[in-house]
Structure 1
Amino acid sequence: MQDPIKTGLANGWKHVDASTLTRSQAVEADVVIVGTGAGGGVTADILSDAGLRVVLIEEGPLRSSSDFRMREADAYPELYQESASRKTADKAVNILQGRCVGGSTTVNWTSSFRTPPEVFDFWQRQFGLRQLSVESMSSWFAVMEHKLWVRSWDTPPNQNNQVLVAGAEKLGIPVAGIKRNVKGCWNLGYCGMGCPTNAKQSMLLTTIPAALNRGATLYTRLRAERLRFTGSRVSALDCMALQPDGIHPAGKRVQLRARHFVVAGGAIGSPALLLRSGIPDPHRLLGKRTFLHPVVISSALMPGRVDAYAGAPQSIYSDHFLHRAPIDGPLGFKLETPPLHPVLYATTLQGFGEAHARLMREFTHVNALLALLRDGFHPESRGGQVRLGSDGLPVLDYPLGDVIWEGARRALLAMAEIQFAAGARWVTPVHETSPGYSSWAEAKKGIAELPLKPFLCRVVSAHVMGGCGMADTPQRGVVDHRGRHFWLGNLSVHDGSVFPTSLGANPQLSIYGLVARNASLLAAELSGRPPPVIP
């Protein structure tokens, strides 16, 4: 199978692996973009198409389908932040984030949802974002869905997802299919390790090659350290080259000057860069209101084989429990299924020694359901805060308060009931003290009495949002509805860090749509062309 990345490099793409630099450099461009994930990739495509000279900065490596061998031991250290072991400051929440060209779009499970209407309504009421609505964003979502092949997944769900279908339908809980951004998918189930067949329409395969074909320059293994600014304008970005391990400094530096700077390093990386830079923050909002979808998991042993590593990872969901209360009431949650691969399963599973080994021996019969808790709407769910550690690298403080634990208990009960309704012979929350249950009656009583607190109940997340939130005024946000920084005129933020809350839905399509809008407005301004008219 042809590798389009290797073909592009052979044809002259401008790619600089900073670990190979023999001397420091100074570079000039029209626009410098920090990050190559959903926000950075879309921005690079649109700005390069407007004739602007674009430079992309990526801390991770450039990898492609030739490197994706469906092996966790290769993928996690190569493609993820902190080898897929990034955690909150107190180590209570595991966070999966990409760290490679394409960012998390290279390693996500392809689930694609538009921003829910009630989220737009809340943003308008609480943050004055009147310009953003279902109606105003509909065409932008449609454009990106067409471009990135976001389609209904018509293949029957794998057995892992089928458990959610069977149990929910028996209980009268509505479910639906998840749209996926894939083209010619082989249904292998290893999306989280990079797509070896080039079916996933990630930034690695779509927008970044498009920008490179137009002459954009891509730097990899280059860490953005500090934005330099004078008055109300950014003048330069200082970067540090990393060694081939992507961790340690290589000793060479790159300084980039540009007319405009776009920060798209994700909702932990972007606030961290602005904090390191000492960017104006008179209302002390930067890095605050950073949100996860805190995720709790329920594991079940089914009578037959599940083989949850095979087939489309996520193809079924239920929003039934998102709408049981007002959006600012008790936390709602979205139900989905995660794929299970041996390392991911073993490191998330509770227990140790023989108890852990016994569960691992049942690996092929395991179903897992997950609940994405929608944080950021209840008055007492204010998310977390990105700050800088002693080494200047980001740390996310994320207290798990009573509001989250109350939602987590409801979610664990709902998932256990669904799994038993689907025929499970044994169900356990992923919780260190749960003995597991052999009936719904037993589970209902046991889960109601489980102590829910950090390190006992396992909490994970693959979605980070906020920290550079949008609002109508600088008293309420870091950027405006266009992603433009309130205090520095030539600085934009184009990623999920601008969301004022979490979404209650997998965020990639929300980022694609919003960034397509904002990058198009920016392209019109910088190129002098009229802004696009989207029907």
Structure 2
Amino acid sequence: MAQQRIDDAADFVIVGTGAGGATAARVLADAGLDVVLLEEGPEIPLADRRREALDAMSVAVRDMASQTTDGIHPIPLLQGRVVGGSTAINSGIIWRLPDDVRRDWCERFGLEKLVDETEMERVFARIEDELGVHETEGELLGGNNTLMERGAQALGLPGRRIHRNTKGCQGNNRCLQGCPVGARQSMDVSYVPRAIADGARLHSSCRATRVVFEGRRAVAVRGTVHDPKTRARVGSFEVRARRGVIVAASAIWTPVLLQNSGYRHPLLGERFQAHPGAAFVGRFDEPVNMGFGAAQGYEVPMRDRGYKLESLGMPAEMLAARLPGAGADWSKRLANLGHYVQWGGQVRMEALGRVRARWFPGASGGGVSVKYEPTKRDIAKLHDALVLTGRMMLAAGAKEIHPGVAGFPDTISTEAELDAFARHPLHRSQAHLVASHLFGTACASRDPKLGVVDDELAAHGAERLYVMDASVFPTNLGVNPQHSIMGVVWRASEMLAQRASRAAAA
């Protein structure tokens, strides 16, 4: 079969179509600049989105959720590999960049221009208006979220209904599989189409393997073209960049791409950070019907304690896998699947990791090595989060809690049993963690000794090379990062568009 060959050129070539890449395309294309978007994953029309979780994950989630950290206690690292990136498989949770984080970035990393308070207020308001950000409606809470609200209120906790980027949500609880009606305003149904309407071009199923440099200047992106169904290689591409290359391939794959391209900086791939979390499952006498409602519609921010609790609606087959027991015992619980909730905590961990390209791209892990190990204090915060989750469940009326923690009973039914869980130290080997918020491997700082990119997200030591994704965050946010990514990238893209306009006028 003849091999495909794609040759293109644009003012800016953007690698990645997630929160960072799509936002950059939306701003630059709106400014009249010629933009090409490159996406490794396929483009999935609404009509082709699959109900079954495993089928959907095989198409849209990188390595079918088998991408993990290295080590004897690997942590799954969840990422979208599809047009829209991880925004196409998350729950649309929106949090502005916390002001304490913004101030810290200004004071320690010299990012006053990038995250100016007035400018960020303007940008966030604009994005929220365009993407329909609002508090989860009461009629869309469903049983899982409503019971969490009940438990939080009973304990006097600072809970709130989650703010999401949705328009016309029907409560299908299919965020993970890809919203079947396009209600969640993920990048594949919002900023990517808007950029295309403004003249941008999208090449999907195109995996970038190298940024091409002439001297210190980034001039093109090369890679391979793949069949969207089989993922077999069917060709190659090269897209020339007249004004610059923007890498927005995520906190894991941005450093890998740049390392493989010969770009060097002592901090590239360093300071990897995340929000690993774990969850409890609880059974109630009353029906919960997790199949209806916002997948994640209620949360309890405990910022002073280093974590945030969230409801977590799951597809039936994934929820069933969380139930303990075997044989008749498991079947009995399965028969009551409609009576279970799942809530968990994401921890603002202090641990710092490292991302490196593997020597052999075909090796296990898809050509990447991620070293990351939570500290003892991180695990203590996780323990606290799980205990509080259990207290909320009991306060809301749960009859059984299944912690899923190695070395502890499968079932907790009373406050006394939960107290015993709270008293017993939690060890790293007992915690089953999952991480979906990843950042920090190409940190931003005006000082090249403290950051890979500067306060306009231009790479130190290179020309016309920019990084615009979560890898530029110099510290851990402690909240869902999508909105912060979009806000920071919007600001940097505006500055980039202004420079391009001045250069054209000169």
TM-score (norm 2): 0.92
Matching residue's letter, 1:299: V
Aligned counterpart in structure 2 of residue 363 of structure 1, from 337, 340, 346: 337
1:60-75 paired onto structure 2 within 5 Å: 60-75=41-56
Post-superposition offset of 1:153: 2.2
**Partners of 1:507 and 1:41 in 2: CA distance:** 15
| Residue segments in structure 2 that go unaligned for 5+ positions in a row | 362-366
| Residue segments in structure 1 that go unaligned for 5+ positions in a row | 1-19, 325-331, 376-380
Tell me, yes or no, if the aligned pair for 2:439 and 2:470 is still in contact at 8 Å.
yes
Aligned counterpart in structure 2 of residue 161 of structure 1, from 141, 145, 155: 145
Matched, 1:171 2:152: no
1:444-483 paired onto structure 2 within 5 Å: 444-449=419-424, 451-454=426-429, 456-483=430-457
1:225 paired residue number: 209
Aligned to 1:260, the other structure's residue is in SS state strand
Tell me, yes or no, if the aligned pair for 1:190 and 1:310 is still in contact at 8 Å.
no
1:286-345 Cα distance to aligned partner (Å, 9 max, x none) = 1111111011212211121212232111121111x2124xxxxxxx10111111213333
Cα gap change, 1:54 to 1:302, in 2 (>3 Å): same
1:150 paired residue number: 133
Cα gap change, 1:272 to 1:361, in 2 (>3 Å): farther
Post-superposition offset of 1:358: 5.5
Post-superposition offset of 1:347: 5.0
Cα gap change, 1:216 to 1:450, in 2 (>3 Å): same
Post-superposition offset of 1:29: 1.4
Aligned to 2:445, the other structure's residue is in SS state coil
2:285 paired residue number: 303
Post-superposition offset of 1:434: 2.2
1:54 paired residue number: 35
2:299 paired residue number: 317
Aligned to 1:289, the other structure's residue is in SS state strand
1:327-377 Cα distance to aligned partner (Å, 9 max, x none) = xxxxx10111111213333456667777665654442221111111112xx
Cα gap change, 1:232 to 1:357, in 2 (>3 Å): farther
Cα gap change, 1:382 to 1:458, in 2 (>3 Å): closer
Structure 1 stretch 107-116 or stretch 362-371: which is displaced more?
362-371
Post-superposition offset of 1:154: 2.5
Cα gap change, 1:125 to 1:403, in 2 (>3 Å): farther
2:82 paired residue number: 100
2:360 paired residue number: 391
1:111-510 paired onto structure 2 within 5 Å: 111-131=93-113, 132-156=115-139, 157-245=141-229, 247-250=231-234, 252-258=235-241, 259-281=243-265, 284-319=266-301, 321-324=302-305, 332-346=306-320, 359-375=333-349, 381-392=350-361, 393-435=367-409, 436-449=411-424, 451-454=426-429, 456-510=430-484
Aligned to 1:168, the other structure's residue is in SS state helix
1:188-239 Cα distance to aligned partner (Å, 9 max, x none) = 1111111111211111111111222233221111111011223321122111
1:13 paired residue number: none
Aligned to 2:493, the other structure's residue is in SS state helix
Aligned counterpart in structure 1 of residue 502 of structure 2, from 511, 523, 528: 528
**Partners of 2:15 and 2:427 in 1: CA distance:** 39
Matching residue's letter, 1:265: A
Post-superposition offset of 1:174: 1.8
1:7 paired residue number: none
Post-superposition offset of 1:69: 3.5
Cα gap change, 1:346 to 1:268, in 2 (>3 Å): farther
Matching residue's letter, 1:148: L
1:367-406 Cα distance to aligned partner (Å, 9 max, x none) = 111111112xxxxx23221112243322322112212111
Q: How many residues align?
A: 495
Cα gap change, 1:338 to 1:225, in 2 (>3 Å): same
**Partners of 1:122 and 1:405 in 2: CA distance:** 25
Post-superposition offset of 1:73: 3.0
Tell me, yes or no, if the aligned pair for 1:177 and 1:317 is still in contact at 8 Å.
yes
1:15 paired residue number: none
Tell me, yes or no, if the aligned pair for 1:228 and 1:236 is still in contact at 8 Å.
yes
Tell me, yes or no, if the aligned pair for 1:169 and 1:175 is still in contact at 8 Å.
yes
1:511 paired residue number: 485
Matching residue's letter, 2:468: H
**Partners of 1:76 and 1:482 in 2: CA distance:** 35
Aligned to 1:492, the other structure's residue is in SS state strand
**C-alpha RMSD of matched pairs (Å):** 2.2
1:233-289 Cα distance to aligned partner (Å, 9 max, x none) = 112211112234464433x221221120000111111111111112021xx211111
**Partners of 1:233 and 1:305 in 2: CA distance:** 61
Matching residue's letter, 1:417: R
Post-superposition offset of 1:87: 1.8
Post-superposition offset of 1:170: 1.1
Cα gap change, 1:419 to 1:493, in 2 (>3 Å): same
1:73-128 Cα distance to aligned partner (Å, 9 max, x none) = 32101111111332222362122211111111111111111011111122233323
Post-superposition offset of 1:142: 0.6
Aligned to 1:209, the other structure's residue is in SS state helix
**Partners of 2:226 and 2:504 in 1: CA distance:** 40
TM-score (norm 1): 0.88
Cα gap change, 1:310 to 1:383, in 2 (>3 Å): farther
Aligned counterpart in structure 1 of residue 68 of structure 2, from 80, 87, 90: 87
Cα gap change, 1:21 to 1:205, in 2 (>3 Å): farther
